[in-house]
Amino acid sequence: MCKVLKMKVMCFLTILCTVLFTYCFADTYPRAQNVSWFSINFKTLLMWEPKPTNYSYTVEFSVIGENRQKNPHCIRTLQTECDLSNSLKDLKATYSADILSEPPYGVNSDLVEFPHTTSEWFNPYKDTLLGRPEFKIKVSEDKRTITLYVEDPPTALFNEKDQTRTIRDVFGDDLQYKVTFGKATSTGKKTKISASSEIQLDRTDIDPGVSYCFSVQAYIPSRSTNKQLGELSQRQCSPSNEKTLFDDYGIGVKVGFILLISTIIAVAVLVTVLCCKRRSNTKQGKEGVPLRTV
């Protein structure tokens, strides 16, 4: 009976020591803090703090509910970020990641489980930020239509032919563009949504011959409200084509008007010179008359 009791006590003490040793050893490797995802146009980074000193980090990630994987570039790393852009294959899936605090390369440990910090959930399709697009402006010859040609921003993803994919390649018909515009001489603003990268504005949107300024941003209506709109593009303005007084008349009238103005200026100069000369002669004449004696 005593022998059995002694064995149970020894077993309990062994388990207790193992737990305490694991807990104490784990504290020598600080857990990662401020873990966050940063993603723009599917360039996806997992970031955290602090910088390691006598330890390293290993990143494990997985689709929620599935087995975890490791990025080969983020195993026992001394960095505080991990590029998972091309590791998250299913863009519409939701992922989580664990950052393990481990001993550096070359250092062994008897720990079965290392301290770790779990990230928030991340869905590339729903959560990546949309960068600013580039676009060109073309005004029709009759000045009645302005067309914006938007260049779909490239992503950090590649297709089977190792070619860069654009956000249009990823989102397809889900991608739209929102245009914010107004007259260059006014503070008023209007908006227009287009499902195409070629956005045409006609007389229902603009006044012919007037200069307008435009900003464009990607728009994904299927997303949550705070993530539907991308970054605003740089502001660009169309050339002004408003007619002046000269535009309503032919070249003959323009030449005649210029000659008339030139003649008026010449006459004004001549009259001014004659007046100054006459005044000068009058003054000299008065100075030459002797004073009368009283």
pLDDT digits (tens, 9 = 90+) for 7-24: 554 555 444 444 443 444
Q: What is the pLDDT of residue 198?
A: 97
Of the options 3.30.460.80, 3.40.50.1000, 3.30.499.10, 2.60.40.10, the CATH number for the domain spanning 15-125? 2.60.40.10
Instruction: Answer yes or no: are the C-beta atoms of 99 and 32 closer than 8 Å.
Output: yes
From the list 91, 63, 86, 66, the residue with the least C-alpha distance to 74 is: 86
Which residue intervals of the chain bear CATH 2.60.40.10? 15-125, 134-237
Of the options 3.30.390.50, 3.40.50.1000, 3.30.40.230, 2.60.40.10, the CATH number for the domain spanning 134-237? 2.60.40.10
pLDDT digits (tens, 9 = 90+) for 173-192: 999 999 999 999 989 999 99
Lowest mean pLDDT, pick from 20-29, 141-150, 163-172, 207-216: 20-29
Rounded to an integer, what distance in angstroms lies between the CA atom of residue 100 and that of residue 266?
89
- The rounded Cα 64 to chain-centroid distance in angstroms is 29
Higher pLDDT, 281 or 93: 93
pLDDT band at 270 (very low <50, low <70, confident <90, very high): confident
Quote the percentage of the chain above a pLDDT of 70.
Answer: 78
Lowest mean pLDDT, pick from 1-5, 209-213, 240-244: 1-5
Full DSSP string of 111-176: -SS--EEEPPPB-HHHHSB-PPPEEEEEE-TTSS-EEEEEEPPEEEEE-TTSPEEEHHHHHGGG-E
Rounded to an integer, what distance in angstroms lies between the CA atom of residue 57 and that of residue 75?
7
pLDDT digits (tens, 9 = 90+) for 128-162: 999 999 999 999 999 999 999 999 999 999 998 88
Report helix, strand or coil for 217: strand
Mean pLDDT score of the chain: 84
